[in-house]
Amino acid sequence: MGQVDFTYGEAGNSASLPIAVSIFADCDRVRAELEDDVDAAGLEVRECGDLDQLFAGDVRALGEVVLVDCPRPDVAAMATLARLDSRAEHSGARLIVSTSLDSLDAVFGCCSQSNPQILIDPRRAERVIALGRVLGDVPNLRLRELSDDDRLALLRLTEQVGHIAERLEKLDSGGGGWGQKAGGGAFRFESPSDGYRAETALVRKPRPPLPDARLVRQIIHQRKARAKFLDAELFADPAWDMLLDLTAARVEHQRVSVTSLCIASGVPPTTALRWIGQMVDGGLFDRVEDDADRRRAFIELSDKGADAMARFFAEIGQDAMALA
């Protein structure tokens, strides 16, 4: 496979210049839909071709936004995606990659630098939403009038992102998050002020141990049991479900793949990936590369997250099963 020259053209010299988008997909229908959606947003399609064009190095310049549909990448494709991810990180380009659930771990492992959006078997509406998320981050961008459906989709997306941000803010600030105490929360431990007196400062108690993994697994099992009788979407709480899963895994000294964590979240994989990204950004999850295979990565509970979960379970004690 030839070397790909990921050189980006000059953009942003004027607010009136369109944002250039490159599209690569083997499926003719997907490629045509992406091209139509990019055009409807008033953007310039710089490149539109199949994956062979991208992987063989025929592309001389890529756009500021790169859309790649790669449902079942082989080893050569993964190497090219890794180079694309690296170049996007250095150039500031926005990368959106759609793939299949079976290939999620591989794609997640090689796209570790540019913080791309990864979509799992997305519908067209999900692709439009992903494009809208990217465009919302680009300053001085003037879009054409969107259809009512597209506008509604983007509004719903904005609301969802706002809810995620609010919940993570509560986790970090103690503003109503899990395990909150009066005057502070289990997810926030600030350093003393500059003028404190060391001899009178309160000594923080050592962190209690994490709960028994069997207890956590029982809570997870009981939470899932509700889906047998009621619509699972009524109780969707992906952040909490993933925290529970990673807590049990940490106690068991088990590694958790991104695919496994997406399944544990109880929400669609694309939604779960957005939550994982938010939890990593919030310092509750850590992304850990596989030393034996650099193309793989795992998600684990961070020390901050473990501290919060340990103190939470220590506080609720015998009431833990009420969480189910």
Which DSSP string corresponds to 261-320?
A: HHHHHTS-HHHHHHHHHHHHHTTSEEEEEETTEEEEEEEEE-HHHHHHHHHHHHHHGGGG
Query: What tokens appear for 98 in the block?
Result: 């759609």
Query: Can you give the pTM of this predicted structure?
Result: 0.68
Confirm if 108 and 98 have CB atoms less than 8 A apart.
Answer: no
134-191 pLDDT tens trace:
776 654 444 444 455 655 555 554 455 445 445 545 554 554 443 333 333 333 333 4
Average per-residue pLDDT in the chain? 76
CA distances from 171 to 56, 240, 291 (A): 46, 11, 31
The number of residues making up the chain comes to 324
Helix (H) or strand (E) holding 120, with range, is strand 117-120
Number of neighbours of residue 294 by Cβ within 10 angstroms: 12
Radius of gyration in angstroms for the set of CA atoms belonging to the chain, rounded to a whole number: 22
**Torsion on CA atoms 174, 178, 179, 184, rounded to nearest 10:** 10
pLDDT tens series, the chain, 324 aa: 444 444 444 443 333 346 789 999 999 999 999 998 888 777 889 889 888 887 776 556 778 899 999 999 988 888 889 888 988 888 888 999 999 999 999 999 988 888 899 999 998 888 888 888 877 665 444 444 445 565 555 555 445 544 544 554 555 455 444 333 333 333 333 344 444 444 444 455 677 888 889 989 988 888 888 888 888 777 788 999 999 999 999 999 999 999 999 999 989 999 999 999 999 999 999 999 888 777 789 999 999 999 999 988 888 876 665 555
| Integer Cα distance of 194 and 173 in angstroms | 20
List of domains in the chain: 7-146 (3.40.50.2300), 213-323 (1.10.10.10)
